[in-house]
Structure 1
């Protein structure tokens, strides 16, 4: 009678995000620290704690995941209000760290696209896209 598939899909995406943090949390934290300093590192840790306690992907998680992606993808480079983003200039483009950052960025982007495809949060409110086109 009632289709429970949407809630199953939401839980599935939540579990994939949790698995991503479980499998790559250390690397994600280190990458954020290398690119965005202590503030970015703290955001990853805060997001992981909230993710562990949250029954769904809520607005806060979406905002934090999008911010982490922006940091990893260097979207904020050149922002005069964000002095830590210049940390990336100390990394050598051919280093193993840069390869790891690129892989993490791609995996996180895939997760964000999946979340975006849901088009709404648990309360059914329509959200905007997490990744700018």
Structure 2
């Protein structure tokens, strides 16, 4: 019923140290991530962001569903699906003025989230190699 599983065997996290940078980024940019997700993905994007950010804010290490939600949020921010007319991202993206300052904000959030996720994954890989 609940999605919590021991992190070391399912997500690869040996400790919360590898997760701290990601958690810090999400806490610092929470409102911006919500706004960007809603702008790019409407209600489904907002729900995705809610799932990802709530999972990161939880006191335990991330679950697999949290990591999937974070990957989905990163895809949304990186505009991975805006060329697929069957997805809501295409319609939402078409409504955004390319000259709007929000475009730069979304790019910065996407880059920051990608960097935090990469650092988190490298931290886990480094612990596994040690």
Band the TM-score falls in, shorter-chain normalisation: 0.7 to 0.9
Report the counterpart of residue 9 of structure 2 in structure 1.
none
Structure with higher RCO (Cα < 8 A, 6+ apart): 2
Instruction: Indicate which of 59, 63, 67 corresponds to 1:62.
Output: 67
Q: Which range is displaced more, 75-84 or 31-40?
A: 75-84
Distance 2:121 2:90 in 1: 26
**Paired residues, what number?**
114
Residue 67 of structure 1, CA deviation: 0.4
1:55-106: per-residue Cα shift (whole Å, max 9, x none)?
A: 1133222111110010011101223442344201111222110010000000
Instruction: Indicate which of 70, 79, 93 corresponds to 1:88.
Output: 93
TM-score, scaled to structure 2:
0.76
5 Å-filtered alignment, 1:74-85, equals 74-85=79-90
TM-score, scaled to structure 1:
0.74
Distance 2:18 2:86 in 1: 33
Distance 2:94 2:40 in 1: 9
> Which runs of 5 or more residues in structure 2 are unaligned?
1-12
Distance 2:23 2:38 in 1: 20
Report the counterpart of residue 18 of structure 2 in structure 1.
13
Distance 2:39 2:84 in 1: 17
